[in-house]
Amino acid sequence: MIRLLVVDDSALMRRLLGGVFGGEPDFEVAFARDGMEALDAIARQRPDVVTLDVQMPRMDGLSCLDRIMLENPVPVVMLSALTAAGAEATLEALRLGAVDFVGKPSGVASLSIDELAPVLVEKVRAAAGARLRRSHRLAERVRLRTGLASVPGRVPTVPALPRAAPARPSGTPPGVVLVGCSTGGPAALDALLEPLPADFPWPVVIAQHMPASFTGPLARRLDRLCALSVEEVVRPVPLLPGHAYVGRGDADVILGTRAAGIVAMAAPSDPGRRWHPSVDRMVESAMEHVAPSRLVGVLMTGMGNDGAAAMARLHRDGGHTIAEAEESAVVWGMPGELVRAGGAAIVAPLDGIAAALTGLVA
């Protein structure tokens, strides 16, 4: 039985969410009306997973999440508005340690909940079995428990990283790195891209399952964090060394050929594929325009199997593939499927993927 704590100041949302999870045979549901009640309930009840609203009185969701991750770490799924402000808050929540997020119903919630319910249940069920990184914010937890620091407030957002403007050469790059991730992906992308130098020789194209309102803020945050120049793919853009490209949400990112060389493009989402941007479609399109020997596929944390089939084919055809190891993946769904298919040339923990990638493209 999965012990779930639903935290929301809206009595209507508590009732609706209680109905969704109460109808599932493997959930036992409790409720809290705000962050203060949630902290008390977590300390007493030790739930397996928490859903957490962002906007609440007394203590908002981000402040509550900050305390949860320092005092009693537990998998948390955020309920976030699908707005620009909601996207920024959600990315901050993922940085603080939330496992995943679900877009909160807009308009008449009671009319939207039936459509949202399958995804919500799937994500919360996956989060209940997620692996929280023991090293995440470890120093802060130690300081708190030894009394060397009071409970901190929200950690400031990542400042811009100073760097020289990268050169913008034209023509076909020597190769392309293709990265796929889902649940737990934003934090994994931090760990992958931050060690890469500004002159990294191959462009990096990323398919992270997210709504369209979130991928722009994600790209801007990664651009501030790492030495690479990072942008969201909203129009055909030439692939250049020292650059990373985040596929637009609610669409698919594909590769094509133009006079300037290889480009990344946003394509309408393929209705035959469940998750978007689709990792499988990204890899398949890349193999139509770039020799497999000049492609590296990296599949990281995420539930489901998106990317596993295409990257396994890439491996069979002579390309290079890296799967995140089970020991570090928040959810070992996508990379695990690649490993089980025999399609992973390298299996590495998250903190070793950048080094493995650098070795392959050197």
Q: Is the pTM of the predicted complex or chain greater than 0.85?
A: yes
Supply the pLDDT for residue 214: 94
Judge contact between 99 and 74, C-beta under 8 A.
no
State the DSSP code for 254: E
Residue of 8, 100, 209, 213 marked active site: 209
Pick the catalytic residue from 63, 182, 269, 278. Answer: 182
Contact assessment for residue 7 and residue 50, using Cβ atoms and an 8 Å cutoff: yes
Establish whether 136 is a catalytic residue: no
Q: What is the DSSP letter of 107?
A: S
Q: What is the pLDDT of residues 179-199, one digit of tens each?
A: 999 999 999 999 999 999 999
Helix or strand (DSSP H, E) at 262: strand 261-268
- Return the bridge partners of 50, or none: 5, 76
2-128 and 176-361: identical CATH topology: yes
CATH number of 176-361: 3.40.50.180
Q: Rounded to 10 degrees, what is the CA torsion of 256, 258, 261, 267?
A: -30
Q: Domain segments of the chain: what residues?
A: 2-128, 176-361
User: Rounded to an integer, what distance in angstroms lies between the CA atom of residue 92 and that of residue 63?
Assistant: 11
Band of pLDDT at residue 161, cut at 50, 70 and 90: very low
The identity of residue 320, as a single letter, is H
Q: For 282-303, what is each residue's pLDDT tens digit?
A: 999 999 999 999 999 999 999 9
Cα 361 to Cα 347: distance, rounded to the nearest angstrom: 17
Which one from 306, 315, 320, 328 is the annotated catalytic residue?
A: 306
> Does 315 qualify as catalytic in the annotation?
no
Q: Using CA atoms, how far apart are residues 279 and 328, in angstroms rounded to an integer?
A: 20
Out of 79-88, 257-266, 333-342, the most confident range is 333-342
Q: What is the pLDDT of residue 86?
A: 85
Class of 2-128 in CATH: alpha beta
Residue 284 sits at φ, ψ, to 5 deg, of -60, -40
If pLDDT is split at 50, 70 and 90, which confidence band does 118 have?
A: very high
